[in-house]
A and B are shown apart, each in its own frame.
Chain A
Amino acid sequence: MTQNLQTESLRARRVVMGIPLLWLLLLFLLPFLIVLKLSFSETRLAIPPYAPLLEWLGGVPHSALHISNYAFLFTDPLYISAYLYSLKVAIVSTFYCLLLGYPMAYVIARAQGTWRTVLLMLVVLPFWTSFLLRVYAWIGLLKHNGVINNILMYLGLIHQPLTMLQTDFAVYVGIVYSYLPFMILPLYANLEKHDGALLEAAADLGARPFTAFVRVTLPQSIPGIIAGSLLVFIPAVGEYVVPSLLGRTDQLMIGRVLSDEFFENRDWPLASAVAILMLLLLVIPIMLFQRSGGRELESHH
């Protein structure tokens, strides 16, 4: 009985939950605390390039807090515009992902037997191949003398090659492309559970298919929509690879700014402040995801 399991195996239980808890505390939570502390630290020309996190002054541990890094982020327009641009890219890409992913999940959820398995596998398969290489593939399609321009010119639809690479459009395409399975899977997990009898009842009561969809299916699928959207939106805000390979050079996203501050300028405290502000921006979506998303995500594996 559960009672037995709880009393007899107390020690085993402690080990089973203790080990991963300790690991996650040490390698997931503690690092964030260090980032937080470092974001209030001063840059120094040293190795590592920041003032010590703790200094001993007269035998007492002393830790200075400087808000200069945050002040700097708000004075230089580069950072504000990178944050706003990242938000815009993430929102627009999430919207397109939903627009494309919802109908796909809908058809898969209503398909029968083998068809459903095959379609689901087709959606998941790209996820198992390299993210980096899939983004890279778009360079060959989008560039000036790339495949898309060649086809359009061959068909006589355009006479001048379109500029698609290094534009907002290319970033949207790249993000929608790489995160689409993350939108489809939670939606599918939700739509699959819907009771067909409700739609039949709606039809019996005289609702047209479209009305029935809007009034019955859509409201029921809101948890799936939320989970899928958060699963796309949150990582998209900090996306690094897609804008680096496909995006504009005159407008950086915040993930790239963080990485540049860290690797190019070696300003670790400033990079930490950039990270903390990004986290503040994402803390509400992440908490929402933990409430709704976790559950929707679990059912598809």
Chain B
Amino acid sequence: MKTSGWFPRTILGVGLTFLYAPIISMMVFSLNNSRLVTVWDSAHSPTLKWYGELLGNDEILGAAWLSIRIALIAASGAVVLGTLTGVALARFGPFRGRTLMVGMTTAPLVMPEVITGLALLLLFITLQQAIGWPHGTGMVTIILAHITFCTAYVAVVVQSRLVGFDESLEEAALDLGARPGTVFRRITLPLVAPALVSGWLLSFTLSWDDLVITQFVAGPGSSTLPMVIFSKVRLGVSPDVNALATIMVLLVASGITLSALWLRYQYRRRERDLQLAAAANQ
């Protein structure tokens, strides 16, 4: 295949600059001494004072801890539900309710968040009136809401992974007398394992990051990190948010770099094992 011409390559450069300039500028100004965020105070900068201030901010730390707990539970729940959905869609052929299931797993991917948030809150209130549960809104309702929209993403990831493998492995195991449960545990699950990992990480990120749906279903006293950040930045730029953003970007970047390196290591090892096996066979 030929490489592209100068025009699309220029646009790629412009696009990447566009994607990264705001993030980099935010990181640079997190080291700025001045409260006037965008005016560089060269006499006293760079400084880490906003990072120090961040560590002493109990509101932000508390919200971050709440967000982490919610994201951990929501991502795990979504992986279970999303895997079941993905397996059903990829492996069960046509069944009654399949169209409905496809609809309910693709619609959340694009549904405007204000609509989903409103709908979920009204559901929780109706449920509370009808059966007395959930008791008010808070962490539980946030988790239920997050599981629901993350499930759709996990289902797409798992389904596309399964579609990539044909069913012959599972069929062979069944022919050899394995029970369906065993086939699922020993064959299907290991096949989709990488999709489970990326689905979990994706769900964790989406849950950790969600503002709009959370705002609807959160109760008093359950402010997540995005809610605290939003109420701060609504009033304008604030330097400790720059520091917070920098920490988050660095964490994500190192996480992704590490996982990419790990994947490459696994791949290389597999290649080497295959070569060794081939050599041994000769």
Contact = CB atoms under 8 A, between A and B. Distances in A.
Interface stretch (B42-50, B154-162, B270-278): B154-162
A9 interface: yes
Interface of A: 1-2, 4-6, 8-9, 12-13, 16-17, 19-21, 23-32, 34-35, 38, 48, 53, 100-101, 103-104, 106-108, 110-112, 119, 121-123, 125-126, 128-134, 136-141, 143, 145-147, 150, 177, 180, 196, 199, 209, 230-231, 234-235, 237-241, 244-245, 255, 258-259, 262, 268, 271-272, 275, 278-279, 282, 285-286, 289-290, 293-294, 297-299, 301
B56 to A, nearest CB: 20
Given A24-B104, A27-B120, A125-B252, A255 B4 contact: no
Interface in B136-192: 144-145, 147-148, 151, 155-157, 159-161, 163, 167, 170-171, 174-175, 179-181, 184
A111 B106 contact: no
A61 to B, nearest CB: 13
Contacts of B216: 262
B245 interface: yes
Contacts of A101: 15
Nearest to A115: B3
Contacts of B248: 129-130, 133
Interface of B: 1-5, 7-9, 11-12, 14-16, 18-23, 25-26, 29, 36-39, 81-82, 84-85, 87-88, 91-93, 95, 97, 100-116, 118-120, 122-123, 125-126, 129, 144-145, 147-148, 151, 155-157, 159-161, 163, 167, 170-171, 174-175, 179-181, 184, 195, 198, 205, 208-209, 211-212, 215-216, 226, 229-230, 233-234, 236-237, 241-242, 244-245, 248-249, 252-253, 256, 260
Nearest to B194: A301
B245 A140 contact: no
A112 B115 CA distance: 42
Residue in B100, B120, B167, B216 with the greatest tally of chain A CB atoms within 10 Å = B120
Contacts of A244: 234
Given A24-B101, A137-B245, A103 B119 contact: no
Contacts of B244: 133
Nearest to B205: A128
Contacts of B82: 20
Nearest to A128: B252
A145 B120 CA distance: 41
Nearest to B21: A141
A257 to B, nearest CB: 9
A31 B226 contact: no
A141 B25 contact: yes
23 contacts: A2-B93, A17-B97, A20-B82, A20-B151, A21-B101, A25-B104, A31-B119, A129-B245, A130-B245, A132-B211, A133-B241, A134-B22, A136-B245, A137-B22, A180-B18, A180-B19, A239-B112, A240-B114, A255-B112, A259-B215, A275-B115, A289-B106, A298-B160
A177 B11 contact: no
Given A2-B167, A104-B11, A268-B122, A133 B234 contact: no
Contacts of A32: 119
B174 A130 contact: no
A240 B234 CA distance: 12
B107 A286 contact: yes
A87 to B, nearest CB: 13
Residue picked from B26, B107, B114, most chain A C-beta under 10 Å: B114
Nearest to A26: B123
A1 B19 contact: no
A30 B151 contact: no
B171 A5 contact: yes
A196 B2 CA distance: 8
B119 A106 contact: no
B88 A20 contact: yes
B155 to A, nearest CB: 8
A128 B256 contact: yes
